[in-house]
Amino acid sequence: MNKNRSKEYDVIIIGGGATGAGTARDCAMRGLSVLLVERHDFATGATGRNHGLLHSGARYAVTDHESAAECIEENMILRKIANHCIEENDGLFLTLPEDDIAFQSQFVDACSSAGISTEIIDPKLALQMEPSANPDLIGAVRVPDGSVDPFRLTMSNALDARLHGTDILTQHEVTDILKEQDRVIGVELFDHGKKEKVNYYGKIVCNAAGIWGHHIANFAGVNINMFPAKGSLLIFGHRVNKMVLNRCRKPANADILVPGDTICLIGTTSERIPIEEIDNMYVSKDDVDVLIREGVKLSPSLATTRILRAYAGVRPLVAADDDPSGRSISRGIVLMDHKERDGLEGFVTITGGKLMTYRLMAEEATDLICKKLSVDKKCETASIPLPGSEKSEETLSNAGNKIYTGASITQKSAKDRHGSLAHKIANGDSNEDSMVCECEGVSIGEVKYAINELHVNNLIDLRRRTRVGMGTCQGELCACRAAGLLCESMEEAGKAKDDLANFLQERWKGMSPIAWGETINEIQFTSWIYEGIYGLKPENN
């Protein structure tokens, strides 16, 4: 085992979700030397498994004032620093005949006290603004909700962290926390690529692993009382709605419909699960049925809209330290200095919170880390834009003047996905412009850019960077094309075949809970192509 301590980082951050990547960025911008480690890929935990809702905070206004106020503040910040990850769609809170219209005024008051702007909209006008809304609605309130792409957001933070000198290791899983007496000195990692263990050392280790932080804390010999709450969602095959749709009532199951990119999402359910199940998320038949039943109330056309996938994420809820039963659960940000809490120096945990508050969580964690290292530098993440987010000179109106050729479809999609970094994608020659994924307009150039610059280890990573295989065919044809390109760059065809098989399995996991209608037809077709014609079977590779 490597005992070389010549390279000691100021801080090692565990977890490649939004919080981990955000903390890495913040620490690096304050001049610290940073190592970010992630066991799989960026945004594979709760970060990538939620609505992608840019909360205005209105949802929490009545029940949780503090969260609501945090949300609206971060909402306005993200619009400035991450505009390429965000769609400013606005949201409507609908009152349906079965809901109490009296709640509306309570809701509007609570919003305004949290600093969230609201506008009561006449039901008829609301239907004109959002034709997909339930036509029986009796009340509507407009709020500054939006959509955020969590994969892009996380990747942009990681990219900026890297630009500020952060070292990044994906596919590296923490297998132990290294200690000397009452002090954490580093991490033991298992490198999934090389299949070997390796040690890294740092003055501070920051546990930003979401629900998996439970295990990380155990490695360090401390206990955090975490309660995993599973939330399931469904993805529909196209954008039914333009605006985010919510129910104007106390938060409940399946009452948010969020449009994003080419699709829309309904969610979530909420269910406590045992900690042993956090790596085995499945969506049950009952979850699916509830989501559809409630979703149809927001937008009746969902009843006949094709469902692409079902998926579930785990919220990391933390019980108060004096309440091991978990009855008094905080949904807010939890920052722990384990020196104060457990007498263990050099170890910090940042958890709880939500995607919306990742930047604030990163700021609070970094403030603590800086304090421990006696670094006195102010946080700038609220004002300096993320890479890709710089306002582009090409506005929508002059884009419309262009004649749309095939190639400009891929260029426009690339611009949507990578913002001002899209210029890094080679284009303009027929090789680079060739389309890999027709559903989502992904070109060879974009795939190559992702492989070369965005830490792509396999096809599933590639999907999160580019949307390859996220469209209506769920990778039926493009997976093989992308696998071919990945294989060219990695020059390891055997691995690429395994990778393709894993990709199909991963797609299957999301499709099987909702595989009826067109989806079961596609699945049958996909099986025939890959297994029937290509002879792709895990045992053949």
Partner 1 sequence: MKFDNIIIGGGLSGLTCGIKLAEQGKKCAIVSSGQSAIHFFSGSFDLLGKVNGEEVTNPLESMKFLPQQHPYQRVGLENIERLTDEALHLLIRAGLSFTGKADRNHYTLTPMGVMKPTWLTLNDFTSFDQKDSFPWKKAVILNFSGFLDFHTLFIKDGLKKFDINAQIKNVSMKQFEAIRKNPSEMRSTNIAKEFDKGNAIEEFAQKANLLSEGFDVVILPAVFGLFNKSVADQLKEKINKPVLLLPAIPPSVPGIRSQITLRERFQELGGTYLLGDNVEEGIFEDGRLLEIRTNNHGDIKFEADQFILASGSFYSKGIVATHDKLYEPIFGLDIDGDNNREEWFDEKFFNDQAFMRYGVKTDENFRALMNGEPVQNLFVAGSVLGGANPLKEGSGAGISLLTSLHAAEQILK
Site for partner 1 in 460-479 (CB under 8 A): 477
**Coil/strand/helix, residue 88:** coil
Instruction: Tell me whether residue 371 or residue 537 sits nearer to partner 1 (CB atom).
Output: 537
The span of 50-58, 88-96, 98-106, 403-411 binding partner 1 (CB under 8 A) equals 403-411
The span of 314-322, 329-337, 349-357, 490-498 binding partner 1 (CB under 8 A) equals 490-498
Q: Tell me the closest approach of the beta carbon of residue 290 to partner 1, in angstroms.
A: 12
| Backbone phi and psi for residue 426, each to the nearest 5 degrees, phi listed first | -65, 135
| Backbone phi and psi for residue 497, each to the nearest 5 degrees, phi listed first | -70, -45
Instruction: Tell me whether residue 119 or residue 429 sits nearer to partner 1 (CB atom).
Output: 429
Q: Tell me the closest approach of the beta carbon of residue 198 to partner 1, in angstroms.
A: 29
Counting Cα atoms < 13 Å in the Cβ hemisphere of 3 gives 0
Among residues 288, 308, 310, 295, the alpha carbon closest in space to that of 132 is found at 295
435 counts as binding partner 1 under rule CB under 8 A: yes
438 counts as binding partner 1 under rule CB under 8 A: yes
Q: Enter the tokens of residue 49.
A: 């498994």
Q: Tell me the closest approach of the beta carbon of residue 160 to partner 1, in angstroms.
A: 31
Instruction: Tell me whether residue 352 or residue 513 sits nearer to partner 1 (CB atom).
Output: 513
Site for partner 1 in 236-275 (CB under 8 A): none
443 counts as binding partner 1 under rule CB under 8 A: yes
Instruction: Tell me whether residue 96 or residue 477 sits nearer to partner 1 (CB atom).
Output: 477
Instruction: Tell me whether residue 97 or residue 517 sits nearer to partner 1 (CB atom).
Output: 517
DSSP 8-state class, residue 277: G
Q: Tell me the closest approach of the beta carbon of residue 399 to partner 1, in angstroms.
A: 18
DSSP-derived secondary structure for 5-73 = -S-EEEEEEE--SHHHHHHHHHHHHTT--EEEE-SS-TT-SGGGSS--EE--SGGGTTT-HHHHHHHHH
497 counts as binding partner 1 under rule CB under 8 A: yes
Instruction: Tell me whether residue 354 or residue 481 sits nearer to partner 1 (CB atom).
Output: 481
426 counts as binding partner 1 under rule CB under 8 A: no
Q: What is the dihedral of CA 368, 333, 48, 288, to 10 degrees?
A: 160
Contact between residue 459 and residue 479 where contact means Cβ atoms under 8 Å apart: yes
Which of 274, 343, 428, 535 is the binder for partner 1 (CB under 8 A)?
Answer: 535
489 counts as binding partner 1 under rule CB under 8 A: no
User: How many residues bind to partner 1 according to rule CB under 8 A?
Assistant: 58
Site for partner 1 in 13-32 (CB under 8 A): none
Say how far apart CA 157 and CA 326 lie, in whole Å.
32
480 counts as binding partner 1 under rule CB under 8 A: yes
DSSP 8-state class, residue 430: H
Which of 270, 301, 392, 512 is the binder for partner 1 (CB under 8 A)?
Answer: 512
DSSP-derived secondary structure for 442-459 = EEHHHHHHHHHHTT--SH
Which of 54, 386, 407, 422 is the binder for partner 1 (CB under 8 A)?
Answer: 407
293 counts as binding partner 1 under rule CB under 8 A: no
Cα-Cα-Cα-Cα dihedral sign, residues 187, 38, 333, 203? positive
Instruction: Tell me whether residue 3 or residue 285 sits nearer to partner 1 (CB atom).
Output: 285
CA distances in angstroms from 354 to 19, 37, 48, 67, 260, listed in the order given: 9, 20, 12, 9, 18
**Coil/strand/helix, residue 349:** strand
CA angle 496, 502, 504 (to 5 degrees): 105
Say how far apart CA 291 and CA 293 lie, in whole Å.
6
**Coil/strand/helix, residue 92:** strand
CA angle 422, 428, 430 (to 5 degrees): 125
Which of 97, 165, 193, 517 is the binder for partner 1 (CB under 8 A)?
Answer: 517
Say how far apart CA 14 and CA 159 lie, in whole Å.
16
Q: Tell me the closest approach of the beta carbon of residue 262 to partner 1, in angstroms.
A: 16
Q: Tell me the closest approach of the beta carbon of residue 436 to partner 1, in angstroms.
A: 6
509 counts as binding partner 1 under rule CB under 8 A: yes
**Coil/strand/helix, residue 318:** strand
Which of 153, 436, 456, 468 is the binder for partner 1 (CB under 8 A)?
Answer: 436
496 counts as binding partner 1 under rule CB under 8 A: yes
Q: Tell me the closest approach of the beta carbon of residue 434 to partner 1, in angstroms.
A: 5
Which of 133, 205, 444, 459 is the binder for partner 1 (CB under 8 A)?
Answer: 444
Instruction: Tell me whether residue 118 or residue 443 sits nearer to partner 1 (CB atom).
Output: 443
529 counts as binding partner 1 under rule CB under 8 A: yes
Q: What is the dihedral of CA 48, 54, 56, 57, to 10 degrees?
A: 0
175 counts as binding partner 1 under rule CB under 8 A: no
Q: Report the DSSP beta bridge partners of residue 401.
A: none
**Coil/strand/helix, residue 228:** strand
520 counts as binding partner 1 under rule CB under 8 A: yes
Q: Enter the tokens of residue 22.
A: 């955000």
Which of 14, 48, 501, 510 is the binder for partner 1 (CB under 8 A)?
Answer: 501
The residue count of the chain comes to 541
Which residues contact partner 1 by CB under 8 A? 282, 285, 288-289, 292, 405-407, 409-410, 430-431, 433-436, 438, 443-444, 477, 480-481, 483-485, 487-488, 493-494, 496-497, 501, 504-505, 507-509, 512, 515-517, 520-522, 524-525, 527-529, 531-538, 540
